[in-house]
Structure 1
């Protein structure tokens, strides 16, 4: 193991994650949001009214984390939970008027973060990076 000279990918992934958390907290704190809620909102902007369980699966996040994020988004007024008409044990998540009102600002923060990450990359390198990250996942 002492001869292990390969770059440690986990170190870089972790650093990107930490910097992302700091960036999103700084940019979204005035809305009462952080990085934990950001991904859920982005997915709900793509598909409003999704079941909470499907949101968990789509984001590949555990149920407890999803429940906490949903609770925070609901407390901040960005979403509402409604009982699923077809399955009384399930809930569907809907974006509120407040969530819609702040959508452009949240998209702008997402784009700014992506630009920060990829500013030194060519278009081809960016596409390769996305492809490789998807492959790793």
Structure 2
């Protein structure tokens, strides 16, 4: 049976190139690959809190907090403390974020076309299906490992 030793290398290569792509395309907005995911999540789920934001991307809360802080500094998001529970901060986009979101969504589409170039419609669906399955496998493994260290 093949050992598939290079699969991690290709996943890592894709991630590094993905980061470079977004950093380059979004540099005029003073954000890069580190914030674009969070920006789109807040756009798609206005009023979500930091915990929900972190969970949606399998990030730790500290990473989500840093990303939101950077987006706040750039004027793209604002937070509101909940009246009922002062520990919860809801996150919303500002009007200033609209062109950034539009450009980021364009970039998402462009990057998908770049990496899926030459694949048939069926191959594209299968590639996504397999990547989702691999991500789910990794997530389940990491969830089981928590507390075993």
1:29-48 → structure 2 map (5 Å cutoff): 29-48=27-46
Equivalent position SS for 2:26: helix
Counterpart CA distance in 2 for 1:86 and 1:125 is 49
- Aligned residue runs from structure 1 range 1-137, under 5 A: 6-137=4-135
Q: For residues 135 and 105 of structure 1, what CA distance do their matches in structure 2 show?
A: 29
Give per-residue Cα distances to partners, 1:64-101, cap 9 Å, x unaligned.
11111011101011101111233211111100001123
Aligned residues of 2:43 and 2:92 also touching (Cα < 8 A): no
TM-score scaled by structure 1? 0.92
Structure 2 unaligned segments of length 5 or more: list them: 136-149
> More deviation in 24-33 or 99-108?
99-108
Deviation at 1:34, TM superposition (A): 0.5
Q: Aligned pairs, how many?
A: 135
User: What TM-score results when the alignment is normalised by the length of structure 2?
Assistant: 0.85
Task: Supply the RMSD in Å over aligned alpha carbons.
Answer: 1.6
